[in-house]
Amino acid sequence: MFKALMLRKADDGSTQASIETLDTAQLPEGDVEIQVAYSTLNYKDGLAITGRAPVVRQWPMVPGIDLVGTVVESRDAQYPKGTEVIVNGHGMGELHWGGLAQRARVPAGWITRKPDSMSAWDAASIGTAGYTAMLSVLALERHGVRAGDGPIVVTGANGGVGSFAVALLARRGYEVHASTGRLEERERLLGLGATEVFDRQTLAEAGKPLQKEKWAGAVDCVGSHTLANICAQTRYGGVVTACGLAQGMDFPATVAPFILRGVTLAGVDSVYAPQALREEAWRCLAEETDGSLREQIACTASLNESIDLAQRLMKGEIKGRVVIDLAK
């Protein structure tokens, strides 16, 4: 028997979230069964738990797009019993039961070995947020953006992805400008490596198709008008990576930045990224993050606290990462 956060669809279509005790026989099919040590609360998890967006596509559902744990049963020789593993994305919490439970069962192809230099908590504190941030940094560099080319703007900088993006870029020598709706967190962002912190409202409204050139690149976690304005303000030949939709899924822009300034808009997908790219990102994260950074960005809570924390996450009251300790 194990505890899980379970989402069920009520007769009126609303989402009901509760902590339940389940039997391992109820777990979905998969090659590998994992004793989950830690999961996390990401923005997508908050949407699912609160029912604010149709994230869940099969009911009932255990949310949690991240998990870190130890293999307890396996039909795959790559991951024998006792192997410490990470699982991110692949439809967990949407189509397949996710990590906000003490046990999980997943296909072997979804698994990444946890780097030896990281503890389970370290890996969870990074999770999909840090992994996505690293994918964004790698995308900027793959498209030719280098430290010294000019400032890189990070939107949604107080969130999980944004916080890690600020720190990772700064540690690679980039000049980082952080956009946030919580200017009271300015000192925290400066401590992570930002050189400038500004109010997100300067980007949040409809703007001109082309604006004054400011950025050599961007990590956008927000979408909508913010992404459109970032593109309009990116320098000739600059690169904008898009990985989130906190403001909205729409993109009210024109082609002007792309055909008149040669701006590149690079999508960053953390859900179905190929295994080689996942391994590269986690290898870089193991090398470029340390305990002091992770503790600056992440806090720990229990499974019983997760429903309330999801509500607070949707209200914008949570900074950085929330790690859920499944032993609590």
- 33: CB partners within 8 A, 6+ apart: 24, 27, 71, 72, 73, 74, 103, 104, 105
Q: Is the pLDDT of residue 292 over 80?
A: no
pLDDT-derived band at 297 (thresholds 50, 70, 90) equals confident
Q: Is the pLDDT of residue 300 over 80?
A: yes
Residue % of the chain over a pLDDT of 70: 100
Q: Domains in the chain and their CATH numbers?
A: 2-114+290-325 (3.90.180.10), 128-267 (3.40.50.720)
**Burial of 109 per CB tally in 10 Å (0-12, 13-18, 19+):** exposed
For residue 97, the model assigns a pLDDT of 98
Q: Within 10 A of 206 (CB to CB), how many other CB atoms are there?
A: 10
In single-letter form, the type of residue at position 53 comes to A
Q: Average pLDDT for residues 239-257, to the nearest whole number?
A: 95
pLDDT in tens, 95-142: 999 999 999 999 999 999 999 999 999 999 999 999 999 999 999 999
For residue 228, the model assigns a pLDDT of 98
Q: Average pLDDT for residues 34-59, to the nearest whole number?
A: 94
Q: Average pLDDT for residues 151-173, to the nearest whole number?
A: 95
For residue 82, the model assigns a pLDDT of 97
For residue 266, the model assigns a pLDDT of 98
Q: Average pLDDT for residues 215-242, to the nearest whole number?
A: 98
pLDDT in tens, 176-189: 999 999 899 899 99
Q: Is the pLDDT of residue 291 over 80?
A: no
For residue 117, the model assigns a pLDDT of 92
pLDDT in tens, 268-289: 999 999 999 999 999 999 999 8
Q: Is the pLDDT of residue 295 over 90?
A: no
Cα 258 from chain centre: 27
Q: Is the pLDDT of residue 191 over 90?
A: yes
- Mean pLDDT, the chain, rounded, equals 95
Q: Average pLDDT for residues 290-310, to the nearest whole number?
A: 89
For residue 290, the model assigns a pLDDT of 84
Cα 46 from chain centre: 12
Q: For 85, list phi and psi in degrees, rounded to 5.
A: -135, 160
For residue 70, the model assigns a pLDDT of 98
For residue 159, the model assigns a pLDDT of 87
Q: Average pLDDT for residues 12-18, to the nearest whole number?
A: 94
For residue 251, the model assigns a pLDDT of 97
For residue 122, the model assigns a pLDDT of 93
Supply the DSSP symbol for 114: P
